[in-house]
Amino acid sequence: MERWASDAICFLAVEIAADHFDFVLFTTLLVPRHRKSHPFVMNKNWWILCLAALSIMTIDVNVARAQDYDDTEAWLRHQLGLRTSQRRDNAEMKRLVSPLSQSTIDSVVKVYSGDRPVALGTIVAAEGYVLTKRSELTGDPIRVRMSDNRLLPGRIAAVRRSSDLGLIKIESDETFTPVTWVDQTPQAGSFLISPGRTGRTIGIGAIGSRRVRVEHKGRLGVQLVSAERSGATVRGVQPGSGADQAGIEQGDRIVAINGRQQPDRFAVVNTLSKMYPGEVVALTIVRGEDRLEMDARLRDLSVLQETENDARVNGPRSARLSGFDDVFQHDTVLNPDECGGPILDSDGRVIGMNIARAGRVVSYALPASVIMEDLADMLNEARGSVPDQNTVAGQR
């Protein structure tokens, strides 16, 4: 039985290779006739010969094909990627779901921080409140671009660190169209649709988990030791970390974070441990006789630990990609500045909001139930009074 199985596997392998080469004669001669006298020990030699032949053919064809590309990286991308027509989010699929994406055209905006587009935004109240990804708002003047291409000024009205939500008020007296939230998480494997600002479909994915908790792993990127006086002394700085980019050096002493004095190393570690990836901290540093003020952005531990090849494969990701108590994971390919927009189920219902791009095939979305819970309080805070439930984003 083992003899027949091994012969069959090798026969199929060679036949696959024969699709690309004229090896039909080689295949016919190579596969032995099965007789009672055919011992397995002889078959082992034949198996080794077959694998060697296949290896030579594989090297041959791979070298030949690699020469069609400018470099190995481009060739690998071609080998590992699917043809456009085979992808789930190909043009034909996007055309089919276009009516669903178009249904949100008046409720999705592009958020700018300064002159830079940083996220999508979802209109959640008729008087012009927009929900977006908080950690992408850098403190620069905010503007929102509408579906008709108008650029309107906005301001931050409320934030929620735990869910990374920011509420923006559009500075306009006109009436806007809010989304209608549906508190329902589809089954694993269900299709999800991510619409953009102009009603086009920016991504189609599948839900991978019902609901998950993603621990936050924000790191400044320094090794600390106790200082003789207050604060903590930097013993080492991790290359590429927020500390490195901010200009922190070995021997610096961190004495205050966000204006609060840090009496010792334990206080520094405890304060930083409460920060989320993507957050910017204001550090007061003592360097020799100088007292310096620096801003450093915390990065996710997984990003700091990955290799250069891992980073290339994963592509661009959100600065805040962890630290969520309740999200569902899906595999839609998004750019970091495409988070903050609504996510639809296959019936076109708004079931959540994309909140983070975490990896090559990992994106996170906040479920509608989590959003609605935070949103009522955020609108209350922004308006300065108990919100009128008729003007809050619709709920079903």
Taking residues 176-204, what's their average pLDDT?
Answer: 93
Q: Give the per-residue pLDDT at 48.
A: 52
Is the predicted pLDDT of residue 221 greater than 80, yes or no?
yes
86 lies in a domain? no
Taking residues 312-338, what's their average pLDDT?
Answer: 91
What is the DSSP annotation of 74-113? HHHHHHHSPPGGGSTT-HHHHHHHHHHHHTTTTTEEEEEE
- CATH number of the domain where residue 286 is located: 2.30.42.10
Rounded-to-10 torsion of CA 371, 373, 377, 380: 80
Residues 192 and 280 reside in one and the same domain: no
314 lies in a domain? no
Is the predicted pLDDT of residue 142 greater than 90, yes or no?
yes
Residues 108 and 184 reside in one and the same domain: yes
Taking residues 132-155, what's their average pLDDT?
Answer: 95
292 or 28, which is more confident? 292
Question: Can you read off the two tokens belonging to residue 339?
Answer: 């988070």
Residues 195 and 254 reside in one and the same domain: no
Is the predicted pLDDT of residue 393 greater than 80, yes or no?
no
pLDDT band at 10 (very low <50, low <70, confident <90, very high): very low
Burial class (CB in 10 A: 0-12, 13-18, 19+), 163: buried
Is the predicted pLDDT of residue 54 greater than 90, yes or no?
no
45 lies in a domain? yes
Q: Give the per-residue pLDDT at 31.
A: 43
- CATH number of the domain where residue 202 is located: 2.40.10.120
Half-sphere exposure of 45 (CA within 13 A, CB side): 5
Q: Within the chain, where are the H helices?
A: 2-18, 24-30, 40-66, 72-80, 91-102, 242-246, 265-273, 301-305, 308-314, 368-383
Is the predicted pLDDT of residue 306 greater than 90, yes or no?
no
Domain boundary among 18, 46, 80: 80
Taking residues 307-323, what's their average pLDDT?
Answer: 85
Number of domains in the chain: 3
Residues 112 and 166 reside in one and the same domain: yes
Residues 120 and 208 reside in one and the same domain: yes
Q: Give the per-residue pLDDT at 118.
A: 97
pLDDT band at 22 (very low <50, low <70, confident <90, very high): very low
CB atoms within 10 A of CB 360: 13
* Report field, pTM of the whole predicted structure over 0.85: no
44 lies in a domain? yes
Is the predicted pLDDT of residue 312 greater than 60, yes or no?
yes
pLDDT band at 15 (very low <50, low <70, confident <90, very high): very low
Count of residues in the chain: 396
Q: Which of 348, 384, 378 is nearest to 125 (CA)?
A: 378
What is the C-alpha separation between 198 and 355, in angstroms, rounded? 19
CB atoms within 10 A of CB 234: 23
pLDDT band at 87 (very low <50, low <70, confident <90, very high): low
85 lies in a domain? no
Residues 208 and 239 reside in one and the same domain: no
Q: Give the per-residue pLDDT at 51.
A: 52
In the DSSP assignment, the letter for residue 141 is: P
Burial class (CB in 10 A: 0-12, 13-18, 19+), 340: buried
Residues 120 and 156 reside in one and the same domain: yes
Q: Give the per-residue pLDDT at 171.
A: 96
Longest alpha-carbon distance in the chain: 92
232 or 45, which is more confident? 232
Taking residues 329-348, what's their average pLDDT?
Answer: 95
Residues 207 and 234 reside in one and the same domain: no
Residues 48 and 134 reside in one and the same domain: no
pLDDT band at 185 (very low <50, low <70, confident <90, very high): confident
What integer best gives the mean pLDDT of the chain?
81
What is the C-alpha separation between 142 and 134, in angstroms, rounded? 12
Q: Give the per-residue pLDDT at 229.
A: 80
Radius of gyration (C-alpha) of the chain in whole angstroms: 28
87 lies in a domain? no
Residues 134 and 191 reside in one and the same domain: yes
117 lies in a domain? yes
Taking residues 221-244, what's their average pLDDT?
Answer: 91
What is the C-alpha separation between 108 and 140, in angstroms, rounded? 21
Domain boundary among 266, 299, 332: 299
The model's pLDDT over 247-294, given as tens digits with 9 standing for 90+, comes to 999 999 999 999 999 999 999 999 999 899 988 999 999 999 999 999
313 lies in a domain? no
Residues 237 and 207 reside in one and the same domain: no
Lowest mean pLDDT among 70-74, 227-231, 366-370: 70-74
Domain boundary among 52, 80, 108: 80
Q: Which of 287, 320, 291, 290 is nearest to 303 (CA)?
A: 320
Percent of the chain with pLDDT over 90: 58
Percent of the chain with pLDDT over 70: 74
Could you tell me the residue range of the domain that residue 68 belongs to? 2-80
Residues 110 and 64 reside in one and the same domain: no
